[in-house]
Amino acid sequence: MLNAKVAELLNTQINKEFYSAYLYLDFANFYEDEGLKGFANWYRVQAQEERDHAMLFIQYLQNNGEKATLEAIDKPGVALRDRMSPLKAGLEHEEYVTSLIHNIYDAAYSVKDFRTMQFLDWFVKEQGEEETNASDLIKKMELFGDDVKSLYMLDNELSARVYTAPSLVL
Ligand code: FEO
């Protein structure tokens, strides 16, 4: 059995990850409407990864004899005004998710729950990568977003992203 606070935070994270998937699907739909199918693809893949994250939290709880309780998922709460706004909101959201992961880590550390800390290590690394990816997208849009040909090439580049299952196996 896990410490009650740690279990509660892990359960809350299921919802946060599903919300992330929902948010990124909203971004994908926005870019699809804009005719930027590469950006739409990139965020659809990202949404799949977020669903995987949620599933990992569910599985970890269940592997430790805990119940996974699903809560309602909020509406995507980001105003999508222009091509840059999803990218900036994406980075902000990932920084928020990083803070949540660190918070769970902190709770696990305080009760010497080394197993949960080891489970979360993968997410700490993953968050670093996701923040980097989000920053890179912003930089690319700043550099190339105003030039039609460059934007076309950037969109093509993002259309190449393919889904791969998470490297963490529980
Ligand atoms: Fe599941 Fe983008 O963090």
Average pLDDT, integer, range 90-108 = 98
CA 129 to CA 140: how far, in whole Å? 16
- 168 within some domain: no
- Ligand 1 site: residues with CB under 6 angstroms? 17, 20, 50, 53, 94, 97, 130
Domain of residue 128 covers: 4-70+79-159
pLDDT for 77: 87
Nearest CA to ligand 1 atom 1: 50
- 170 within some domain: no
Average pLDDT, integer, range 98-127 = 98
| Local structure of 147: helix, strand or coil | coil
- 61 within some domain: yes
- 165 within some domain: no
Place 124 in a pLDDT band, splitting at 50, 70 and 90.
very high
**Per-residue pLDDT at 54 exceeds 90:** yes
Nearby residues of 70 by Cβ (< 8 Å), 6 or more positions away = 14, 15
- 43 within some domain: yes
CA 126 to CA 111: how far, in whole Å? 24
Nearest-atom index, ligand 1, CA of 126? 3
Which CATH number characterizes residue 20's domain? 1.20.1260.10
- Between residues 153 and 167, which one has the greater pLDDT? 153
Nearest CA to ligand 1 atom 2: 94
pLDDT for 39: 98
- 60 within some domain: yes
* Arithmetic mean of pLDDT over the chain: 97
Nearby residues of 93 by Cβ (< 8 Å), 6 or more positions away = 20, 23, 78
CB atoms within 10 A of CB 119: 22
Contact 129, 166 (CB under 8 A): no
pLDDT for 1: 86
CA 46 to CA 89: how far, in whole Å? 14
Nearest-atom index, ligand 1, CA of 53? 1
**Domain count along the chain:** 1
CA 68 to CA 72: how far, in whole Å? 13
- 164 within some domain: no
Nearest-atom index, ligand 1, CA of 97? 3
Contact 11, 68 (CB under 8 A): yes
2 CA to centre of ligand 1 in angstroms? 23
User: Of the ranges 6-10, 76-80, 102-106, which one carries the lowest mean pLDDT score?
Assistant: 76-80
**Per-residue pLDDT at 162 exceeds 90:** yes
pLDDT for 169: 86
97 CA to centre of ligand 1 in angstroms? 6
Place 106 in a pLDDT band, splitting at 50, 70 and 90.
very high
- 24 within some domain: yes
20 CA to centre of ligand 1 in angstroms? 7
**Virtual CA dihedral for 140, 146, 151, 154, nearest 10 degrees?**
-10
Nearby residues of 146 by Cβ (< 8 Å), 6 or more positions away = none
151 CA to centre of ligand 1 in angstroms? 26
